[in-house]
Structures are given as C-alpha cells and as structure tokens.
Structure 1
Amino acid sequence: MKYDTSWISNPGGQMVNEDACAYHLVPTGGSWVVADGLGGHRGGQKASSLAVETALAFLSMSSDNPLNNLHDTLENAQKAIIAGQQAEPDCYAMRTTIILLVIRNDQARWAHLGDSRLYVFHKNRVIFQTKDHSVPQMLVGADEIRPEDIRGHKDRNRLLRCLGSPEVFRPAIYDKTYAVQPGDSFLLCTDGFWEYVLEKEMEEFLGHSASVGQWLKKMEELLSNRTHGNHDSYTAIGIRTISVDDMIS
C-alpha cells in the first residue's frame, strides 16, 4: 500500500508556532511525527523541532525493524532535549509533547508523551485514539469526569508526562501491531487542533473528502470559525492508505 500524506501547521493566535511536524516515506511504509513545545517554558519551539528531527533521524538510521524501536527512538529525543537544556541556559526548562507513528509492510505501531494525539480511522470511523497524559485524562480514568469534558476542563493544559522532564520518562507505546487496511486513515495532531474539532466531525469530513488535503482543509476551516484571539498553535498530519491495485486501476 501507499500512504497519501498531507499536513498543516499554524501559529494560531500566537506570535511563535511552537509546534513541529515531519514525516519520511520509504518503499515499505513511513514514519510520521508531531510535537508541541510547551508554551509555558522557554525553548518550546526548539524542543518540538529537536524532538521531531531526532526521532526521524534515529528511525532512518536504525538497522533493526523500527516497529520495535519506538522506546529507543523517544529515549534519543529525550536525551537530545536534556542535552539542549544543559547547553543553553535560556532553554533549561524546554519541554515538548510528541506523537509518533511508524508503518512498515502494512503493520503500524505508535507511541506518545503528553496530549498530542493519534486517531485511527477504519471505514471513516474512529476505532482508536491515544489517551492524553494530562490531569483531565486522569480524572476520566477515575470516573470523575466524562471523556467529552476534557476539552473544556480548567486543568486541561496540566500534563503528567512530556519529553524534557528529568523526573520521569515513561512513554506510552502501543504494545501490539495494527494491521493496516486499504482505506484506513490516521490523524496526528496537537491539542490546539483537537480541542476545536470533535471526533464525530473528523469522521464526517473524512467521509466527504476526496483527498487527505481536503480533509485537513475542512477541519481547519471549522477550527478557524471557532477560535478567537490568542488561541493556541495547531498542527495536524493526515494519512490515508491507498491500495497499489487501486492506484493501477
């Protein structure tokens, strides 16, 4: 299969876009990464860029199956950020979220830290989404609030895990492999994106879009209509799987 990819990244109402994203396609699949530098810390923009660059570089140089190297990939990004903190006093507290998707030979795995999310769509319906490393997500797990209450929760920006924190490095790694089917789609995005676009709207736009680029454009238009003032930066990568047989026909 082939993986049609498109992306958007916008500073929103901020002076600086502290998000970063990139991807790398190979004949057997690809790697996709999105990161969100924490705006409350110095060096957020550098942290997100460093995390994305380090992760993709490590995956491209890995001689082993990258599906088995997600922990090492994120650990290398963690080490790069810690080294950057020590080298530049102004960036001593830089942090970032990260979401990473790797597909090889139609098998997928993913890993993350923070509240940047990955959604998996099958037949244009969400069948999986990552769980945020945040206080509101913890409250959902304790049955104190509903999942739909996360978006408007007063503590939504309080993260429990991220890259660059010296106290804890515990990424969440999908412990199986997902068998990718023709027509499946993936969405990697920062909280500045998913905060304003509901899952049912992601599904609806996906089902009525002829391309990944059109899908992202429709969601971005909805986001723009819902945001005012100094809203957060937002970034999203969309991927749709296409059967090689369909491309030939």
Structure 2
Amino acid sequence: MSSYKIEAGTAQHIGNRPQQNDRVALMTGARAPGYVLAVLSDGVAASAGAEQVLHTAKQVFDDFKPGDRPTLQRLEQVLRDIVQETHLVINMNAVTTDKQALASFVGLILSPHGEAVWAHVGDSRLYHFHAGECKARTGDAAYVEHLVASDRLPPDAARNHRKSKLLVNLLGNSRKDPFVTVGHQSGLAAGDVFLLCSDGLWHFFTDAELGAATSRGTPRQASEMLINKAAERSQGKGGNCSMAVIKLARPAQDAGEPGAVRRII
C-alpha cells in the first residue's frame, strides 16, 4: 500500500465567458477501494460534452473491479473506455438532438500501490511534478506523429497546422475517432503533485511556475493563486479556467489509512 496521504481539490472560474463549459471532478470507485480518479473536460461552445464526460467516467469507474493488483495496461484501458463510451454517447445524442457536442478529456487514476496512469485527448493538460520539477506533461507531440503516419502529412505541415488539426481531436467529432495518448508513473511518493487543467489556465503559465505554485501551497492555496494570476495576465479576456490539484503528502503519525483522499476544495 502507499505510504502517503492524498490532498486534493478542484477549482473553477468562468473568466470572461457567458457560461462555464469546463467540468472537473474527483471520484472514488464503488468497487475499487483505495483508487482515485480525477477527470477534467473542456466543452467546446457548450457544456453538454463535458457533462457527458463526467457522467460516463462515474459509470465506468463505479463498474471497475481491480482484483488483487491490475496491470498498468488495465488501468489505461479504464481511461480509454471512458473516452470511447463518451464519444459514442455524444455522437448518438447528436443524431436525436441535431446538435454536436465536443469536449476535451484528461483523466488520472491513482492506485493504492503507488502508481499513476493518465490519458489525454484535446488541449486540456495533465502535469506531473516532483518537488516543483516537471516530470511529465501531456501535449500534442504524439498526435502530430499520428497525423504524419495516418494522414500521410509531411512532418513540417503537421507541425505548422497542429493547432487547427488539434481542434478535431475531440470527443464527439463525428468524422474522426479521438486519438488518445497515455502515460504512467510507478513508485509515487510524498512530494509528487498532479495538475489537471484546461487551456484557460495553462496558457498563462510556464511549467516551472505551475510546479512552484502547486508544490509550495495546499491545493486550495495553489488554486486561488493560479486563478487570480491567470485573470491578471489575461487582462480580463481569459476563458473558462478549471483545475484539479492532487498532492501526495507524508501522513501524520495519527493519520488514517494511507492513500485515503482528503478533499481540500
């Protein structure tokens, strides 16, 4: 079992948009004691896609029964199932409502065995820090390589047009299945921090700034500082801003079972 406690929280700000289209949640599995799922989704132009992401994530995670110790590949498959099932439901709903919903996805599973697995679609991001240093970050490099291989685009063309191409790599796109990138880390310890965030946050910060903010303060303190600073740097023109901060901390001597979630926000 893990030798740390989890301090975690979520935060959102509407920015200068008329409505909040991001959705973010922390979940524990009904049949998976000690496992934690963090999910963040940015709905494009509306919140329906992001709402469906969270709804499907809860259903899939509640059905997950890990057994003694699932492989990292099985944990990855849980996240892939959330993506594929959400994508299918959104497209089915589009047929009946005649309205297309699109959404990004970033998800993280923490196991009680000191393991983390994450998956990512679109322009929301996951960061993994240790002692303030960025150890991993999701991005579009793998998707650019996929475009070169599958669409036979010249590498320079794929890189030059990656922003427009990324817009179609979303859950709910009826013309193309989502391209999922995955990552994992074993041997987690106190001092590790994970940040899930929408582009309304990460657009305004360097990796080093995000690492320093999330490592020094509590999830609540980090969230408040980052939201305030994002609003300042956007000069009142920032979009929806959402995040989940998950910190692994040393348990107090009288703390409860290691790996239990302490929700800060």
User: Same fold by TM-score, threshold 0.5 exceeded?
Assistant: yes
Structure 1 partner of 2:51:
49
Q: Distance in 2 between matches of 1:32 and 1:144?
A: 34
Structure 2 partner of 1:62:
64
User: How far did residue 13 of structure 1 move?
Assistant: 0.3
Answer yes or no: is 1:162 the counterpart of 2:174: no
| Greater RCO (CA < 8 Å, at least 6 residues apart) | 2
Select the residue among 192, 217, 224 that pairs with 2:224. Answer: 217
Q: 1:173 to 1:157 in 2, by over 3 A?
A: closer
Select the residue among 16, 23, 26 that pairs with 1:23. Answer: 26
Q: 1:144 to 1:87 in 2, by over 3 A?
A: closer
Select the residue among 3, 7, 30 that pairs with 1:4. Answer: 7
User: How far did residue 197 of structure 1 move?
Assistant: 2.0
Letter in 1 for 2:241: Y
Letter in 2 for 1:165: N
1:120-135 correspondence to structure 2 within 5 Å? 120-132=128-140
Q: Which stretch shifts more, 77-86 or 233-242?
A: 77-86
Letter in 2 for 1:223: A
Q: Distance in 2 between matches of 1:199 and 1:156?
A: 23
Q: 1:132 to 1:8 in 2, by over 3 A?
A: farther
In percent, how many aligned pairs have the same letter? 21
Select the residue among 72, 78, 86 that pairs with 2:81. Answer: 72
Q: Which stretch shifts more, 77-86 or 176-185?
A: 176-185
Q: Which stretch shifts more, 27-36 or 67-76?
A: 67-76
Answer yes or no: is 1:103 the counterpart of 2:105: no
Structure 2 partner of 1:37:
43
Q: Which ranges of structure 2 fall in alignment gaps of 5 or more residues?
A: 149-153, 257-265
Q: Distance in 1 between matches of 2:235 and 2:209?
A: 20
Q: Distance in 2 between matches of 1:123 and 1:52?
A: 30
* DSSP-derived class of the 2:104 partner: strand
TM-score normalized with structure 1 length: 0.82
* DSSP-derived class of the 1:112 partner: strand
- Between the two proteins, the alignment pairs up a number of residues equal to 235
Letter in 1 for 2:243: A
Q: Which ranges of structure 1 fall in alignment gaps of 5 or more residues?
A: none
> RMSD of the TM alignment (CA)?
3.1
